[in-house]
Amino acid sequence: MNPKPKPKFGPADEALATMPTVFRDDLFADKVVIVSGAGSGIGKAIAFLFARLGAKLAICGRKPEKLEDCAEKLAVLSGREVFWHPMTIRDPADVDAFLSKVWDRFGTVDVLVNNAGGQFAALAIDFTVKGWNAVIDTNLNGSWYMMQGAAKRWVAQSRPGCIITITAAVDRGLTGMAHTTASRAGVNFLSKTLAVEWAPYNIRVNCVAPGAIESTGFHNYKEEHVPSFSKCNPMLHTGDVQDIAEAVVYLAAPSGKFVTGEVLNVEGGMMLWGEFWPSGKPEYFNV
Protein backbone atom coordinates (compact mmCIF):
# COMPACT_ATOMS: atom_id res chain seq x y z
CA MET A 1 0.00 0.00 0.00
CA ASN A 2 1.31 3.40 -0.88
CA PRO A 3 1.72 5.86 1.98
CA LYS A 4 -1.05 8.44 2.05
CA PRO A 5 -0.03 11.55 0.17
CA LYS A 6 0.28 14.69 2.29
CA PRO A 7 -2.86 16.74 1.88
CA LYS A 8 -2.36 19.75 -0.29
CA PHE A 9 -3.91 22.08 2.28
CA GLY A 10 -3.49 21.91 6.06
CA PRO A 11 -1.37 19.55 8.15
CA ALA A 12 -1.24 15.77 7.70
CA ASP A 13 -2.54 13.73 10.64
CA GLU A 14 0.94 13.00 11.95
CA ALA A 15 1.80 16.72 11.99
CA LEU A 16 -1.51 17.58 13.58
CA ALA A 17 -0.93 15.05 16.34
CA THR A 18 2.29 16.73 17.42
CA MET A 19 1.58 20.43 16.89
CA PRO A 20 2.77 22.44 19.87
CA THR A 21 -0.02 23.45 22.22
CA VAL A 22 -0.17 26.05 24.95
CA PHE A 23 -2.40 23.89 27.15
CA ARG A 24 -1.45 21.43 29.88
CA ASP A 25 -1.67 17.70 29.12
CA ASP A 26 -4.51 16.63 31.37
CA LEU A 27 -6.71 19.68 30.94
CA PHE A 28 -9.71 17.69 29.68
CA ALA A 29 -8.97 14.39 31.40
CA ASP A 30 -12.12 12.24 31.19
CA LYS A 31 -14.33 15.13 30.11
CA VAL A 32 -16.75 14.27 27.31
CA VAL A 33 -16.58 16.45 24.22
CA ILE A 34 -18.76 16.26 21.11
CA VAL A 35 -17.25 17.55 17.87
CA SER A 36 -19.42 17.61 14.76
CA GLY A 37 -17.83 17.50 11.33
CA ALA A 38 -14.73 15.92 12.87
CA GLY A 39 -13.76 13.84 9.86
CA SER A 40 -11.57 16.49 8.27
CA GLY A 41 -10.22 20.03 8.36
CA ILE A 42 -10.87 22.26 11.34
CA GLY A 43 -13.16 19.75 13.06
CA LYS A 44 -10.49 17.08 12.98
CA ALA A 45 -7.95 19.51 14.44
CA ILE A 46 -10.33 20.37 17.27
CA ALA A 47 -10.95 16.68 18.00
CA PHE A 48 -7.21 15.91 17.90
CA LEU A 49 -6.41 18.66 20.41
CA PHE A 50 -9.14 17.61 22.84
CA ALA A 51 -7.93 14.00 22.54
CA ARG A 52 -4.37 15.06 23.34
CA LEU A 53 -5.72 16.85 26.42
CA GLY A 54 -7.36 13.65 27.65
CA ALA A 55 -10.98 14.07 26.59
CA LYS A 56 -13.38 11.29 25.69
CA LEU A 57 -14.72 12.17 22.28
CA ALA A 58 -17.99 11.70 20.47
CA ILE A 59 -17.67 12.64 16.83
CA CYS A 60 -20.13 12.83 14.01
CA GLY A 61 -20.10 13.70 10.35
CA ARG A 62 -21.54 12.53 7.09
CA LYS A 63 -18.79 10.18 5.91
CA PRO A 64 -18.38 6.98 7.94
CA GLU A 65 -14.95 6.06 6.55
CA LYS A 66 -13.45 9.42 7.52
CA LEU A 67 -14.98 9.26 10.99
CA GLU A 68 -13.78 5.74 11.59
CA ASP A 69 -10.25 6.66 10.58
CA CYS A 70 -10.34 9.78 12.75
CA ALA A 71 -11.80 7.85 15.71
CA GLU A 72 -8.95 5.32 15.63
CA LYS A 73 -6.40 8.11 15.77
CA LEU A 74 -8.26 9.92 18.54
CA ALA A 75 -8.28 6.75 20.65
CA VAL A 76 -4.51 6.51 20.28
CA LEU A 77 -4.03 10.17 21.21
CA SER A 78 -6.35 10.13 24.21
CA GLY A 79 -6.01 6.54 25.39
CA ARG A 80 -9.71 6.81 26.00
CA GLU A 81 -13.04 5.81 24.55
CA VAL A 82 -14.17 7.38 21.28
CA PHE A 83 -17.67 7.20 19.88
CA TRP A 84 -18.33 7.93 16.23
CA HIS A 85 -21.59 8.09 14.37
CA PRO A 86 -22.35 9.06 10.77
CA MET A 87 -25.26 11.47 10.47
CA THR A 88 -26.29 14.85 9.13
CA ILE A 89 -27.05 17.73 11.46
CA ARG A 90 -29.67 18.88 8.93
CA ASP A 91 -32.03 16.17 10.12
CA PRO A 92 -33.45 16.88 13.58
CA ALA A 93 -34.27 13.18 14.04
CA ASP A 94 -30.65 12.27 13.26
CA VAL A 95 -29.46 14.88 15.73
CA ASP A 96 -31.75 13.57 18.42
CA ALA A 97 -30.67 9.98 17.84
CA PHE A 98 -27.00 10.92 17.87
CA LEU A 99 -27.24 12.93 21.09
CA SER A 100 -29.23 10.18 22.79
CA LYS A 101 -26.56 7.65 21.84
CA VAL A 102 -23.80 9.91 23.18
CA TRP A 103 -25.60 10.47 26.45
CA ASP A 104 -26.34 6.74 26.78
CA ARG A 105 -22.75 5.86 26.11
CA PHE A 106 -21.01 8.42 28.32
CA GLY A 107 -23.70 9.34 30.84
CA THR A 108 -23.25 13.02 30.14
CA VAL A 109 -21.43 15.55 27.98
CA ASP A 110 -19.27 18.48 29.06
CA VAL A 111 -18.72 20.38 25.82
CA LEU A 112 -20.49 20.56 22.48
CA VAL A 113 -18.39 21.86 19.60
CA ASN A 114 -20.63 22.65 16.64
CA ASN A 115 -18.11 22.58 13.87
CA ALA A 116 -20.09 20.88 11.09
CA GLY A 117 -21.06 23.22 8.33
CA GLY A 118 -20.01 24.28 4.92
CA GLN A 119 -20.48 26.55 2.02
CA PHE A 120 -19.49 27.01 -1.57
CA ALA A 121 -18.20 30.16 -3.20
CA ALA A 122 -20.60 31.94 -5.51
CA LEU A 123 -21.80 35.43 -6.15
CA ALA A 124 -25.19 36.02 -4.57
CA ILE A 125 -26.79 36.99 -7.87
CA ASP A 126 -26.15 33.46 -9.11
CA PHE A 127 -27.46 31.55 -6.06
CA THR A 128 -30.13 28.94 -6.68
CA VAL A 129 -32.86 28.44 -4.12
CA LYS A 130 -31.53 24.95 -3.50
CA GLY A 131 -27.99 26.19 -2.90
CA TRP A 132 -29.18 28.90 -0.55
CA ASN A 133 -31.39 26.51 1.40
CA ALA A 134 -28.65 23.90 1.71
CA VAL A 135 -26.24 26.34 3.36
CA ILE A 136 -28.82 27.85 5.71
CA ASP A 137 -30.18 24.42 6.57
CA THR A 138 -26.78 23.05 7.54
CA ASN A 139 -25.03 26.02 9.10
CA LEU A 140 -27.93 27.68 10.87
CA ASN A 141 -30.69 25.10 11.33
CA GLY A 142 -28.32 22.18 11.90
CA SER A 143 -26.29 24.08 14.49
CA TRP A 144 -29.51 25.05 16.24
CA TYR A 145 -30.81 21.46 16.42
CA MET A 146 -27.53 20.43 18.03
CA MET A 147 -27.60 23.33 20.48
CA GLN A 148 -31.15 22.80 21.63
CA GLY A 149 -30.75 19.02 21.75
CA ALA A 150 -27.71 19.30 24.02
CA ALA A 151 -29.24 22.03 26.18
CA LYS A 152 -32.42 20.01 26.81
CA ARG A 153 -30.33 17.10 28.02
CA TRP A 154 -28.18 19.28 30.27
CA VAL A 155 -31.28 20.88 31.75
CA ALA A 156 -32.88 17.46 32.32
CA GLN A 157 -29.75 16.34 34.16
CA SER A 158 -29.33 19.65 36.00
CA ARG A 159 -25.77 19.74 34.72
CA PRO A 160 -23.80 22.70 33.42
CA GLY A 161 -23.06 22.86 29.72
CA CYS A 162 -20.79 24.58 27.28
CA ILE A 163 -21.43 25.17 23.58
CA ILE A 164 -18.95 26.49 21.09
CA THR A 165 -19.95 26.96 17.48
CA ILE A 166 -17.51 27.54 14.67
CA THR A 167 -18.91 30.35 12.55
CA ALA A 168 -17.11 32.96 10.44
CA ALA A 169 -15.79 36.50 10.84
CA VAL A 170 -18.76 38.35 9.36
CA ASP A 171 -18.55 41.95 10.60
CA ARG A 172 -17.85 43.29 7.10
CA GLY A 173 -19.90 40.67 5.32
CA LEU A 174 -18.25 37.91 3.29
CA THR A 175 -18.41 38.63 -0.39
CA GLY A 176 -18.73 35.56 -2.56
CA MET A 177 -20.42 33.71 0.29
CA ALA A 178 -23.56 35.67 1.15
CA HIS A 179 -25.44 32.52 2.13
CA THR A 180 -22.91 31.46 4.69
CA THR A 181 -22.56 35.02 5.97
CA ALA A 182 -26.27 35.08 6.70
CA SER A 183 -26.19 31.67 8.36
CA ARG A 184 -23.07 32.38 10.45
CA ALA A 185 -24.29 35.81 11.52
CA GLY A 186 -27.48 34.04 12.54
CA VAL A 187 -25.52 31.62 14.70
CA ASN A 188 -23.39 34.38 16.23
CA PHE A 189 -26.48 36.25 17.38
CA LEU A 190 -28.38 33.07 18.26
CA SER A 191 -25.49 32.31 20.60
CA LYS A 192 -25.68 35.74 22.21
CA THR A 193 -29.40 35.27 22.80
CA LEU A 194 -28.98 31.77 24.21
CA ALA A 195 -26.10 32.90 26.41
CA VAL A 196 -28.69 34.96 28.28
CA GLU A 197 -31.68 32.57 28.08
CA TRP A 198 -29.60 29.59 29.19
CA ALA A 199 -27.50 31.35 31.84
CA PRO A 200 -29.98 30.15 34.53
CA TYR A 201 -29.06 26.58 33.50
CA ASN A 202 -25.35 27.32 33.79
CA ILE A 203 -24.82 26.78 30.06
CA ARG A 204 -22.23 28.98 28.41
CA VAL A 205 -22.64 29.67 24.69
CA ASN A 206 -19.83 31.12 22.59
CA CYS A 207 -18.54 31.15 19.02
CA VAL A 208 -15.16 31.06 17.35
CA ALA A 209 -15.15 32.96 14.06
CA PRO A 210 -12.29 31.91 11.78
CA GLY A 211 -10.98 33.93 8.89
CA ALA A 212 -8.92 32.28 6.15
CA ILE A 213 -7.65 29.09 7.79
CA GLU A 214 -5.63 26.72 5.62
CA SER A 215 -7.35 23.34 5.79
CA THR A 216 -8.77 20.66 3.56
CA GLY A 217 -11.73 23.02 3.27
CA PHE A 218 -9.65 25.00 0.74
CA HIS A 219 -10.40 22.20 -1.75
CA ASN A 220 -13.92 23.60 -1.98
CA TYR A 221 -12.60 26.65 -3.79
CA LYS A 222 -11.25 27.03 -7.28
CA GLU A 223 -7.51 26.57 -7.23
CA GLU A 224 -6.82 29.89 -8.92
CA HIS A 225 -8.54 31.78 -6.10
CA VAL A 226 -6.73 30.10 -3.20
CA PRO A 227 -3.46 32.11 -3.38
CA SER A 228 -5.41 35.32 -2.69
CA PHE A 229 -6.55 33.90 0.68
CA SER A 230 -3.15 34.62 2.20
CA LYS A 231 -3.48 38.28 1.26
CA CYS A 232 -6.90 38.92 2.75
CA ASN A 233 -5.69 40.16 6.14
CA PRO A 234 -2.95 42.55 7.33
CA MET A 235 -0.75 39.66 8.51
CA LEU A 236 -0.54 38.49 4.89
CA HIS A 237 -0.78 34.84 5.74
CA THR A 238 -3.50 32.29 6.43
CA GLY A 239 -4.15 30.85 9.87
CA ASP A 240 -3.73 27.19 10.69
CA VAL A 241 -6.27 24.73 12.05
CA GLN A 242 -4.50 24.67 15.41
CA ASP A 243 -5.28 28.37 15.83
CA ILE A 244 -8.97 27.49 15.80
CA ALA A 245 -8.56 24.40 17.98
CA GLU A 246 -6.73 26.44 20.63
CA ALA A 247 -9.38 29.17 20.56
CA VAL A 248 -12.06 26.51 21.13
CA VAL A 249 -10.14 24.99 24.03
CA TYR A 250 -9.57 28.42 25.61
CA LEU A 251 -13.35 28.99 25.63
CA ALA A 252 -14.26 25.45 26.68
CA ALA A 253 -11.73 25.15 29.50
CA PRO A 254 -11.94 26.88 32.91
CA SER A 255 -10.02 29.77 31.27
CA GLY A 256 -13.32 30.73 29.63
CA LYS A 257 -15.57 30.25 32.65
CA PHE A 258 -16.58 33.95 32.74
CA VAL A 259 -16.95 34.22 28.95
CA THR A 260 -20.42 33.80 27.48
CA GLY A 261 -22.20 35.22 24.44
CA GLU A 262 -18.82 36.09 22.94
CA VAL A 263 -17.66 35.69 19.35
CA LEU A 264 -13.90 35.23 19.32
CA ASN A 265 -12.58 36.30 15.91
CA VAL A 266 -9.48 34.40 14.80
CA GLU A 267 -8.77 35.99 11.46
CA GLY A 268 -5.48 37.88 11.60
CA GLY A 269 -7.33 41.20 11.39
CA MET A 270 -9.23 40.40 8.19
CA MET A 271 -12.23 42.42 9.32
CA LEU A 272 -10.02 45.51 9.59
CA TRP A 273 -8.10 45.28 6.34
CA GLY A 274 -8.09 43.05 3.32
CA GLU A 275 -10.43 41.67 0.70
CA PHE A 276 -11.68 38.12 0.56
CA TRP A 277 -13.09 36.96 -2.78
CA PRO A 278 -13.41 33.17 -2.70
CA SER A 279 -15.38 33.25 -5.94
CA GLY A 280 -12.93 35.55 -7.69
CA LYS A 281 -12.78 39.31 -7.56
CA PRO A 282 -15.16 41.06 -9.94
CA GLU A 283 -13.46 43.48 -12.32
CA TYR A 284 -15.39 46.40 -10.77
CA PHE A 285 -13.31 46.12 -7.59
CA ASN A 286 -9.94 46.23 -9.27
CA VAL A 287 -9.19 49.83 -8.33
| 46: DSSP letter | H
Choose one: 70-78, 125-133, 147-155, 231-239; the region binding another protein (CB under 8 A).
231-239
- Choosing from 240, 276, 277, 278, the residue that interacts with another protein (CB under 8 A) is 240
- Considering the complex, state which of residue 100 and residue 193 has its C-beta at the smaller distance from another protein: 193
> Under a CB-based contact definition with an 8 Å cutoff, are residues 203 and 162 in contact?
yes
Residue 199: CB atoms within 10 Å: 13
Which residues does 251 contact at the CB level (< 8 Å), separation at least 6? Answer: 162, 164, 204, 206, 208, 259, 262, 264
17 binding another protein? (CB under 8 A): no
Q: Considering beta carbons, is residue 222 or 237 the nearer one to another protein?
A: 237
Among the candidate windows 94-102, 180-188, 224-232, 254-262, which touches another protein by CB under 8 A?
254-262
Write down the least CB distance from residue 59 to another protein, Å.
22
- Verify binding: residue 155, another protein, rule CB under 8 A: no
Listed as own residue / partner, the contacts of 168-171 with beta carbons closer than 8 Å and 24 or more positions apart are 168/209, 168/210, 168/211, 169/209, 169/210, 169/211, 169/265, 169/266, 169/267, 169/270, 169/271, 170/209, 171/265, 171/271
- Which CB, 110 or 243, lies closer to another protein? 243
CB 52 within 8 A of CB 16: no
By beta-carbon proximity to another protein, the closer residue of 21 and 228 is: 21
Q: What is the DSSP string of 258-279?
A: T--S-EEEESTTTTTS----TT
Considering the complex, what minimum distance in angstroms separates the CB of residue 123 from another protein?
27
Does 264 contact another protein by CB under 8 A? Answer: yes
Cα separation of 252 and 54, whole Å? 14
The only residue of 7, 96, 262, 281 in contact with another protein, by rule CB under 8 A: 262
Among 100, 110, 50, 104, CA closest to 80:
50
Binding mask 185-204 for another protein (x = CB under 8 A): -------xx-xx--xx----
Q: Are 198 and 255 spatial neighbours (Cβ–Cβ below 8 Å)?
A: no
DSSP code per residue over 81-117: -EEEEE--TT-HHHHHHHHHHHHHHHS--SEEEE---
Residues numbered 28 to 57 that lie near another protein (CB under 8 A) are none
Total residues contacting another protein (rule CB under 8 A)?
44
If binding is defined by CB under 8 A, does position 246 make contact with another protein?
yes
Q: Does 110 bind another protein (CB under 8 A)?
A: no
Residue selected from 75, 124, 155, 235 as contacting another protein according to rule CB under 8 A: 235
Piece of the chain touching another protein by CB under 8 A; list 78-86, 117-125, 135-143, 227-235: 227-235
Of 15-23, 39-47, 102-110, 140-148, the window that binds another protein (rule: CB under 8 A) is 15-23
Q: Helix 41-52 to helix 64-78 angle, to the nearest 10 degrees?
A: 20
Residues in contact with another protein by the rule CB under 8 A: 20-25, 27, 192-193, 195-196, 199-200, 211, 213, 233-236, 239-240, 243, 246-247, 249-250, 253-255, 257-262, 264-269, 271-273
